[in-house]
Structure 1
Amino acid sequence: MDDESTLARPDLVGPLLVRVTGDERWRHPRAEMVVGGRSNLTYLLTGPAGELVLRRPPSGGVLATAHDMARETRVQRALAGSVVPVPRIVLHDEGDLIGVPFYVMTKLPGLVVRDTLPPGFTPRRCRELGEALTDTLADLHGVDPAAVGLENFGRAEGFAERQVRRWSRQIAATPAKPVPGLDVLADRLLARLPAPQPGTIVHGDYRLDNCLVHDADGPGTVRLSGVLDWEMSTLGDPLTDLGMLLFYWEALARLGSPLARTVTTSPGFPGAEEVARRWSARTGIGIGDLEWYLAFAHFKFAAIALGVQARVEAGAMGGQTVDDLGDLVAGLAGAGLTIVR
Structure 2
Amino acid sequence: MSAPAAAPPPGPPDPPDSPDRSDPPGLDTQRLRAHLDGALPGPVGGPLDARLIEGGRSNLTYTVTDGTARWVVRRPPLGHVLATAHDMTREYRVIEALHPTAVPVPEPLLLCADASVLGAPFYVMEHVPGTPYRTAEQLAPLGPERTRAAVLALVDTLVELHSVDPAAVGLADFGRPDGFLDRQLRRWGKQLDGSRSRPLPGIDALHTALGRSLPGSPAPAVIHGDYRLDNVLLGDDDRINAVLDWEMSTLGDPLTDLGLLVMYSVPLGLPGSPVGTTAGAPGHPAPAELIERYAAGSGRDTSAIAWYTAFAWFKLAVILEGIHYRYTLGQTVGAGFDRIGDLVPVFIEHGLTTLKEG
TM range (shorter): over 0.9
Cα shift at 1:318: 2.8
Are the counterparts in 2 of residues 255 and 328 from structure 1 also a CA contact under 8 Å? no
Cα shift at 1:324: 3.5
Aligned mates of 1:119, 1:259 — CA distance in 2: 18
Cα shift at 1:27: 4.5
Which residue is equivalent to 2:257?
241
* More moved, 253-262 vs 331-340: 253-262
1:297 equivalenced with 2:292 (yes/no):
no
Which residue is equivalent to 1:227?
243
1:132 equivalenced with 2:173 (yes/no):
no
Equivalent residue in structure 2 for 1:117, among 101, 122, 138: 138
Secondary structure, counterpart of 1:21 in structure 2 = coil
Which residue is equivalent to 1:331?
346
Secondary structure, counterpart of 1:297 in structure 2 = helix
Change (3 A) 1:23 1:339: closer
Aligned mates of 1:198, 1:307 — CA distance in 2: 31
Are the counterparts in 1 of residues 226 and 248 from structure 2 also a CA contact under 8 Å? yes
One-letter amino acid of the counterpart of residue 131, structure 2: L
Change (3 A) 1:118 1:334: closer
Aligned mates of 2:25, 2:225 — CA distance in 1: 30
Determine what percentage of the aligned residue pairs are the same residue: 43
Q: TM-score, normalised by structure 2?
A: 0.88
Are the counterparts in 1 of residues 156 and 297 from structure 2 also a CA contact under 8 Å? yes
Corresponding pairs, count: 333
* More moved, 117-126 vs 38-47: 117-126
Which residue is equivalent to 2:179?
158
Q: Which runs of 5+ in 2 are unaligned?
A: 1-21
1:103 equivalenced with 2:128 (yes/no):
no
1:191 equivalenced with 2:191 (yes/no):
no
Equivalent residue in structure 1 for 2:78, among 59, 62, 67: 59
One-letter amino acid of the counterpart of residue 81, structure 2: V
Which residue is equivalent to 1:219?
none
Are the counterparts in 2 of residues 312 and 321 from structure 1 also a CA contact under 8 Å? no
Cα shift at 1:78: 0.3
Q: Which runs of 5+ in 1 are unaligned?
A: 217-221
Are the counterparts in 1 of residues 140 and 147 from structure 2 also a CA contact under 8 Å? no
Are the counterparts in 1 of residues 107 and 125 from structure 2 also a CA contact under 8 Å? yes
Cα shift at 1:39: 0.2
* More moved, 258-267 vs 288-297: 258-267
Equivalent residue in structure 1 for 2:67, among 48, 51, 62: 48
Equivalent residue in structure 2 for 1:16, among 16, 22, 35: 35
Q: TM-score, normalised by structure 1?
A: 0.93
Change (3 A) 1:197 1:335: same
Runs of 4+ off more than 4 Å: none
Change (3 A) 1:199 1:259: farther
Equivalent residue in structure 1 for 2:225, among 195, 204, 221: 204
Change (3 A) 1:320 1:267: closer
Are the counterparts in 1 of residues 191 and 318 from structure 2 also a CA contact under 8 Å? yes
Are the counterparts in 2 of residues 4 and 33 from structure 1 also a CA contact under 8 Å? no
Aligned-residue Cα RMSD (Å) equals 1.8
- CA deviation digits over 1:263-294, x for unaligned, max 9? 23311121110001101111111111011011
Change (3 A) 1:119 1:268: closer
